[in-house]
Amino acid sequence: MEMKMHGWTGNIATIDLDSGAIKHAPLPKDLARDFIGGRGLGVALLCNRADPGVDALHAPLILAVGPLTGIAPMSGRHSFVTKSPLTKTILDSSGGGFFGSELKRAGFDAVEITRESDSPVYIVIDDGEVSIRDASDIWGMNVRKTTDLLAGRHRGRVACIGRAGENCVRFANVMNDYTHACGRGGIGAVVGFKKLKAIVVKGTGKPGVADEEAFKSANEEVSRLLRASPPLKSLSTYGTPSLANLISRFRLLPTRNFRDVQFRDGESASAVSLESSTSPVSSMSGEHIKENYRLKRHSCHKCSIACRQSTQEGIEIPEYETIAMFGPDCENSDFDKIMDTNRICNDYGMDTISCGSTIACHQEICEESCDIAELAARIGEREGLGRELSMGSKAYSDAKNAGHASMHSKGLELPGYDPRGALGQALAYATSNRGGCHTRAYMIAPEIIGKPKLIDRHTLIGKPGLVCVFQNLSAAIDSIMMCSFSSFALSSEEYSNMLSAVCGLTYTSEDLLRAGERIWNVERLFNLRAGFSRADDTLPDRFFGDYGIVQAEFEDALGEYYRFRGWDPEGVPSERKLEELGLRLEIG
């Protein structure tokens, strides 16, 4: 099928860090049509290049943007895709800010990075020109110093690793614009192992739009819906900490390494008291932060929500998940300590969910409290106890013969929503292709927030099909490269209208969801060939049994989920399903 490249730049760069060879190639049009961009494009390229059994640190690294990056509202995003050194699953990670839009303007849909350099390097992408530079003078720096130095040197946008990535901490991030993270799963460790310190991008191009009138109409409708959304208004006012009181009130707040579900300024409530009254996490809530700190709001490219906040002095306000994991989950009620630890993690380039959960796991095993800020820095440096914890909670707890203390799925630590009180989210955690993650299918939206409508959070009935739809839509949103928060206001129809106008192709709502389903199945095939099976689609034993999830009901729901997916009883995609999705990819 012939098509003009509107939305896409049509260009891919491939960089071999061992030889220094840089090649340019056109973006295959069928790949663009079927996998869209961002996460989907990165997954398709990775699966064409990498054996699923490859050691994760040696896996190729794909950086990709989407056709709506830098064009649509809330579209300043980019994705890294590789194999996770933490979980051994396929891994994609999306970040906001301005880096993705700059890469698009520089003329690339994707950058493939292969093999390892013998010495520290960084990559410069400047309006279609790609070069590899010596990074000896910045190796050993953390994120802020690295960003300042390279941004000043090249007048471009910077994505980089800190000391955690250099030290191959298994949950290291790639950071851009200082505080925006491609987190979860250890993207930064893969980058650090390749001796790649940073990528600097600078572009002056303007992404093309196929149908300006249709785009204007779709853009106006999308902007209207975003402005009218109550959840987005709350995010704009309070940031993601606005969730703290709500999640506490619904008894979903991870406390004492998920042993409890409530937290009162340092006092925990027993997990068996699931019907007890709730109280706000007063010192950590968005309302308290707004009242007690002088704040500045920060937005990503083309975003009017501006959900990120910092103090007037420039100290970043933690996201809700960071507050949950470094606060109640670590038995800590000192919000200033949470802020200090968050800032340390951002500068070292570490995932705050995995870091906080791993510290909580250690505290349970050793029955001792820790200075979380000091320990986070030791993890980033891989010093002493920090070296043990830098492998993540699963590896750490297994080494201590205490596997029960790691709160993970497929090796990825669970975030700030206890699955016992939101059973759709429980199923979403267990079936997530990158492990215990809330963004693969944010079932908290219908089960707690009431978007698109409120459903019964205490049952698994009707959830398997809904989880599939949420997962498919999430994969599609991550591929067109709009912020996942936009789904509080938009449906697949608005996304597909926007995509059609920009690309000049007809994408219906069904086409968009089918693309998401295609991406999900390719990720599943990669994981199966990497050694994963139905046995991995589960949660820690802590969440089952008395006062928890009924194991038999969960297994029934998992089987129903597989049937909705068109997979066999062991969770393997059927030939019929793959043919229906037009999948001809050879994995590896």
Per-residue pLDDT, 137: 96
In this model, does residue 536 exceed pLDDT 80? yes
Same domain, yes or no: 273 and 394: yes
- Statement: residue 438 has pLDDT above 80: yes
In a domain, 67, yes or no: yes
Q: Are residues 139 and 258 in the same domain?
A: no
Say what the pLDDT of residue 207 is: 85
Please write the tens of the pLDDT for every residue from 164-184: 999 999 999 999 999 999 999
Give me the pLDDT at residue 512, please.
96
In a domain, 435, yes or no: no
- Average pLDDT of the chain? 93
Please, is 443 exposed, middle or buried when counting C-beta atoms within 10 Å of its C-beta (0-12, 13-18, 19+)? buried
Both 185 and 40 in one domain: the answer is yes
Same-domain pairing of 254 and 177: no
Q: Final residue of a domain: which of 408, 424, 441?
A: 408
In a domain, 208, yes or no: no
* Predicted confidence (pLDDT) per residue in 15-32, tens digit: 999 999 999 999 999 999
- pLDDT average, residue stretch 127-132: 96
- What is the 3 state secondary structure string of 21-52? CEEEEECCHHHHHHHCCHHHHHHHHHHHHCCC
Residues 32-59 pLDDT 10s: 999 999 999 999 999 999 999 999 999 9
* 268 shares a domain with 195: no
Dihedral angle sign, alpha carbons of residues 344, 347, 353, 357: negative
Query: Does 67 share its domain with 16?
Result: yes
Residue 139 has pLDDT above 80, yes or no: yes
- Residue 174's CB is within 10 A of a number of other CB atoms, namely 31
CB 430 within 8 A of CB 537: yes
Beta bridge mates, 180: 176
134 is a domain residue = yes
Do residues 308 and 359 share a domain? yes
Give the rounded distance of the alpha carbon of 79 from its chain centre.
9
Work out the percent of the chain whose per-residue pLDDT is above 90.
88
Give bridge partners of residue 270 from the DSSP assignment: 260
Average pLDDT of the segment spanning 145-161: 97
CA-nearest of 19, 16, 298 to 178 is 298
**Predicted pLDDT of residue 275:** 36
CATH number, domain of 376, equals 1.10.569.10
Side chain identity, residue 548: G
Task: Identify the residue with better confidence: 364 or 306.
Answer: 364
DSSP 567: B
The answer, yes or no, to whether residue 448 has pLDDT greater than 50, is: yes
Residue 584 has pLDDT above 80, yes or no: no
Does a structural domain hold residue 317? Answer: yes
| 422 in Cβ contact with 444 (< 8 Å) | yes
Q: How many domains does the chain have?
A: 2
**pLDDT higher than 80, residue 276:** no
- Three-state SS sequence of 57-69: HHCCEEEECCCCC
Domain's final residue, options 393, 408, 423:
408
Which residue, of 374, 408, 442, is where some domain finishes?
A: 408
User: Peptide bond preceding 254: is omega within 30 degrees of 0, i.e. cis?
Assistant: no
Q: Are residues 261 and 321 in the same domain?
A: yes
The two structure tokens encoding residue 310 = 């910092």
* Residue in 73, 4, 8 with CA at minimum distance from that of residue 216: 73
Higher pLDDT, 274 or 536: 536
Is 391 contained in some domain? yes
How many other CB atoms are there within 10 angstroms of residue 454's CB atom? 12
- 537 occurs within a structural domain: no
State the DSSP string of 509-522.
HHHHHHHHHHHHHH
The answer as to whether 501 is a domain residue is no
Q: Which phi and psi angles does 544 have, rounded to 5°?
A: -110, 165
Q: Same domain for 148 and 270?
A: no
Same domain as 261, residue 144: no
Local structure of 98: helix, strand or coil: coil
Q: Confidence class of residue 270 from pLDDT cuts 50, 70 and 90?
A: very low
CA 132 from centroid of its chain's CA atoms = 27
Residue with tokens 């969440």: 543
Confidence of residue 280 (pLDDT cuts 50, 70, 90): very low
Tokens of 252: 């979903």
Q: Specify the range with the lowest mean pLDDT, choosing from 256-270, 410-424, 455-469, 502-516.
A: 256-270
Q: Which domain holds residue 79?
A: 11-202
CATH of the domain at 158: 3.60.9.10
> Residue 147: its pLDDT value, please?
98
- 75 with 154, same domain: the answer is yes
Question: Are 266 and 362 part of one and the same domain?
Answer: yes
